Structure 1
Amino acid sequence: MKIGIIARGRHGPLTARMMSEYFEVSVFELPEELPVLIEDIELPENILNSDIIISYAAHPDVNIRVVEGAKARLVILTGKSGKTGSRAQLKAIAEERGVRLLMVDICCVASEIEGFEEFFNRFGKPEFEVKIRNGVLEDVKVTRCAFCGATCFVAERLKGAIIEDAPRLAGYYTQIYPCLASRGIKGGIHLAAEMHKIAMERAIKAAKDIKDK
């Protein structure tokens, strides 16, 4: 599977590094500072021809060009809707061109889409699998990782944690990772932390349920 990533500044390189372990990845880097209006932009054919395109452009003009030119079966646009572009317009263009479109504020909430199991079995909403011994996480495995790699970072640091503390720590470690989510009181980083906290709670419950049988 070929993944095309449109990176901008620090947004994109971590994703490319993580996904290149499993897929063929191409990266097109945009300048971190972009003008408010971009009249024309040429995107490389190797990006447009990917099976999946992930855009971190956070710019309406760039994202419209991505959807208009994509030969990919799926386009994923990340970032808040105000920066991503008009959702109604982007959806209309995608539908007209027969392209599947997924728009998410942060990658931790990327839900699985039918037909793309090969990708979403590895990346999207975080999932863990844990082994518990004497109330401690003896082992923590990542069964699905956030695009940016935060889930793997969290898993490495939770081995040996007391299970009562593990969900809280999962959220904490997410926030100290160079996560791509926005910071601040209303930043997406808090949702990213919550997604990892919930994922750890589920993993602990599943491990206990198996042990109790």
Structure 2
Amino acid sequence: MLKIIVVSDGIYGDRTYNTVKTEFETEFIQLEPPNDQLIDDEIEIPEITLNKLKEANIIISYVLHIDLVHEIVKKVHSYVDWIIVASWKGEGFKNQIKYDNVVFPYIMCDIEENGNPIFDEFAVKFGKPKVNLDISTNGELNDIKVVRSSLCGATFFVADFIKEKYKNKSIDIDKLPQEAGFKVQHYPCRAQKLRLFSKENQKELASTYHKEAFEKI
């Protein structure tokens, strides 16, 4: 079984940990961010923490402090299969870290398989939302199976809401995707509202992905 480590130096990562641990061996590591007043000092990560990180197949980083992200990647990238940097800002930062096994998703519910067996074993379960709808011949909702959930667990939240509302009731298939996309905003989604490089902002994209998931019957 894959070993996943979620690492954070702030308030993010807890929901990913709680979601991913339902499928894989998962550990959550909370780090103290460096003191910026001591910026000239070398950033130190406890040896016991480094050893734990090196044992992972996949590290998911919600570390916000740029220098700490650099240090983690530098120290452990050659020991692990993949590092997914979930929290990052700006192409300049991303371009400073160039390793084949380090990825920077624009948004965490954008992750899909990439052809690597280790990565795909993870990405088939978590990333871009995917659901199967079981609709009876008379148009009633029998069930919803979450095939792949966003890492934050929002896909399960939306599916549970739709099932509770429409279970064994007639359902408007044309309106369902829009309702699903709207409901994910009530999770609440922590994706950013800021537009980055003229792309659809992350909150809109999370909504769009869940809307599209419920369009595929």
Report if TM-score (shorter chain) is over 0.5. yes
Matched, 1:69 2:75: yes
TM-score scaled by length of structure 2:
0.80
- Percent of residue pairs identical: 32
Aligned 1:67-106 pairs, distance under 5 A? 67-70=73-76, 71-82=79-90, 86-91=93-98, 94-95=99-100, 100-106=101-107
User: Unmatched 5+ residue regions in structure 2?
Assistant: none
Secondary structure, aligned partner of 1:47: helix
1:115-130 map, 5 Å: 115-116=117-118, 117-130=120-133
Call closer, same or farther: CA 1:33–1:60 in 2, change over 3 Å.
Answer: closer
- How many aligned positions are there? 196
Q: Is the 8 A contact 2:33 2:65 kept in 1?
A: no
Aligned equivalents of 2:144 and 2:121: distance in 1? 22
- Separation of aligned partners in 2, 1:163 and 1:87: 40
- 1:201 paired residue number: 215
Aligned residue among 181, 194, 205 for 1:171: 181
Structure 1 length-normalised TM: 0.81
Query: How far did residue 80 of structure 1 move?
Result: 4.1
Following superposition, which runs of at least 4 residues in structure 1 exceed 2 angstroms of deviation? 7-10, 30-39, 79-82, 133-138, 183-187
Change beyond 3 A, Cα 1:32–1:140: farther
CA distance in 2, matches of 1:2, 1:33: 27
- Superposed, 1:14-163 pairs within 5 Å as 14-30=15-31, 35=36, 39-42=42-45, 44=49, 45-70=51-76, 71-82=79-90, 86-91=93-98, 94-95=99-100, 100-113=101-114, 114-116=116-118, 117-133=120-136, 134-159=138-163, 160=166, 161-163=171-173
Q: Distance between the aligned counterparts of 1:146 and 1:56, measured in 2?
A: 15
List gaps (5 residues or longer) in structure 1. Answer: 205-213
Q: CA deviation at 1:137?
A: 2.9
Please give the per-residue CA displacement for 1:90-145, whole angstroms capped at 9, x wherever unaligned: 11xx24xxxx1210132110121322222112111110000112334321110001
Hey, what's the Cα distance between the residues in 1 that align with 2:103 and 2:112?
9
